């Protein structure tokens, strides 16, 4: 069994929409070149100040929303 894979590397920033557009573009290029599995980097959708992670967080279908810890040093 043969499986063609691709690893995507991109320079993410704090603009989630831009990061997602770039990731989709690169995944499509990989698929067009024959990739059957494409791996995106960790934090591909947001890489910026820690305080921004709460706004960039996405919900998991069927799960309650994540609540950030209220201790000092953590996102609000």
Please give the average per-residue pLDDT across 67-74, as a whole number: 62
Q: Please enumerate in sequence order all residues whose Cβ is within 8 A of that of 47, keeping only pairs 6 or more positions apart, or say none.
A: 12, 13, 14, 19
pTM tops 0.85, yes or no: no
Q: What is the pLDDT of residues 10-68, one digit of tens each?
A: 999 999 999 999 999 999 999 999 999 999 999 999 999 988 888 888 888 888 877 76
CA 30, chain centre distance (Å): 17
């Amino acid at each position: 069994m043969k499986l063609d894979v691709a690893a995507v590397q991109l320079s993410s920033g704090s603009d989630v929409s831009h990061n997602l557009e770039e990731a989709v573009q690169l995944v499509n290029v990989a698929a067009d070149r024959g990739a059957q599995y494409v791996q995106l980097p960790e934090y591909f959708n947001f890489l910026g100040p820690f305080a921004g992670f709460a706004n960039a967080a996405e919900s998991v279908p069927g799960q309650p929303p994540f609540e950030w810890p209220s201790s000092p040093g953590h996102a609000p």
